[in-house]
Homo-oligomer: A and B are copies of this chain.
Amino acid sequence: MSREIPYKIYLEESEMPKQWYNLRADMKNKPAPLLNPETLQPVTYEELSGIFCEELAKQELNETDTHIDIPEEIQKFYKMYRPAPLVRAYCLEEKLGTPAKIYYKFEGNNTSGSHKLNSAIAQAYYAKKQGLKGVTTETGAGQWGTALSMACSYFDLDCQVYMVKVSYEQKPFRREVMRTYGASVTPSPSETTNIGRQILKEHPGTNGSLGCAISEAVEKAVSTEGYRYVLGSVLNQVLLHQSIIGMETKIALDKYEIVPDVVIGCAGGGSNLGGLIAPFMGEKIRGERDYQIIAVEPASCPSMTRGTYAYDYCDTGRVCPLQKMYTLGSGFMPSPNHAGGLRYHGMSATLSQLYADGLMEARSVEQSAVFEAATQFARVEGILPAPESSHAIRVALDEALKCKETGEEKTIVFGLTGTGYFDMFAYEKFNDGKMTDYIPTDEEIAASCAKLPKVN
């Protein structure tokens, strides 16, 4: 007899994972190695540890240990805002009239408003442990920058954030949250780096771009004594830390003897998706159980559904290692009408390999349909979701409505990565009926992919 399932399943602290799960160790086909952008040879630990913290460089390259201990200090911080609830969407099910059972793992109950904090605190911890003075990073809309500021503030670590200039000016709230946590926030491009000065000279009125902000943050880190660069998605180390999402989800489901049929996550660089699906994918790879796993990406930035599986630069500035991944080309920019995140041109190497191996599906959705789902969800389940998370909501609703037609009682689990409190300009556009969609043409994608580096 299974127990009655509450609206929200919270694990006891004693049930929280004490190790991260390193999915790569269980993968039969490992993701292709990172390449040094100058030599085009696989990067070594020595090379990586010049950019990243030592322990993180090790994690980045670790393909053998299935489990890695979560240091006690990180566990302590996790306990401040975790466990995240696994919510049974009773109200949504009732409203939809679906026989499906819908669950979502809600990662928004912290001030960064998203799952990004799970990796930020780990990266800050290892930087502190290495005796560094501080870290640098870039941020667009500011979710990652906020998470990192919170983490650095906790460990008394200096945090220097390069924020895309247009966001710095138009999203002052995120900027102020970061400043409240003691971070210094610099609009990018800036006068503080060579690359920034060069860009400002060439394009005096520029609004900045994520690619430029990455290049500034990396330059600052490698040229400043006691600093390293940190990144909030795409990397193996980030997926490792984010495995806490999936592990908590799995423990909560197991506790109530619930077996999901479908696991759904939104995908930009892949940090949330990789973390959420990790233990389920592990079982699938080991042949213990089968799950339908669905990655959801924006139709305006469709790296998995329409990109090429090839080596590409991770950043537009081409200073970071190359990665084999589904990519739209490192110069690809989503159309200006694209709201919210999930605007990265590529996809985590691990997820790319899993997708190439047919172990998961990918779907793309248009943003007006995404905001429809977001609004419907908010009104019934109370939580105003982030635009990113709402991509997963869209497909969860679609799957639940399919069940209504077929009568299937599927169990659907999706990742609700965060809240949309700092995304109200996008909601305003939707509320005013002014939100538009844009799907890049085949020609656009082909043109961008034609510039892929010749290492494949």
Taking Cβ atoms with an 8 Å cutoff, the residues of A that contact B are 6-8, 10, 12-13, 76-77, 79-81, 87, 90-91, 109-111, 113, 150, 153-154, 172-173, 176-177, 179-182, 375, 378-384, 419, 421-422, 424-425, 427-428, 431
Contacts of A425 in B (CB 8 A): 176
Q: Is the CB of A7 within 8 A of B80?
A: yes
Flag if A424 contacts B111 (CB, 8 Å): no
Contact B419 A382 (CB under 8 A): no
Contact check, A79 vs B6: say whether CB atoms are below 8 A apart.
yes
Query: Could you tell me the distance between the alpha carbons of A76 and B76 in the complex, rounded to whole angstroms?
Result: 32
Please state if B7 and A379 are interface contacts (CB–CB under 8 Å): no
* CB-based contact A384/B177 at 8 Å: yes
Tell which of B113, B150, B382 touches A80, judged by Cβ atoms closer than 8 Å: B382
With A8-B79, A111-B419 in contact, do A180 and B431 touch (Cβ < 8 Å)? yes
How many copies of the polypeptide does the oligomer hold? 2
Which of B110, B181, B382 is the one whose CB lies under 8 Å from A154?
B382
A-B contact pairs, 6 of them (CB 8 A): A7-B79, A80-B381, A110-B383, A111-B382, A179-B427, A421-B421
Instruction: Choose from B81, B109, B111, B421 the contact partner of A422 (Cβ within 8 Å).
Output: B421
In whole Å, how far is A155's beta carbon from the nearest beta carbon of chain B? 11
Docked-complex contact A177 and B111, CB < 8 angstroms: no
Query: Considering the complex of A and B, which 10 residue pairs feature the smallest CB-CB distances, nearest first?
Result: A173-B424, A7-B79, A176-B424, A153-B379, A111-B384, A6-B13, A176-B428, A179-B431, A421-B421, A10-B10
> Which residues on B sit within 8 Å (CB–CB) of A13?
6-8
Q: What's the minimum C-beta distance from A58 to chain B, rounded to whole angstroms?
A: 27
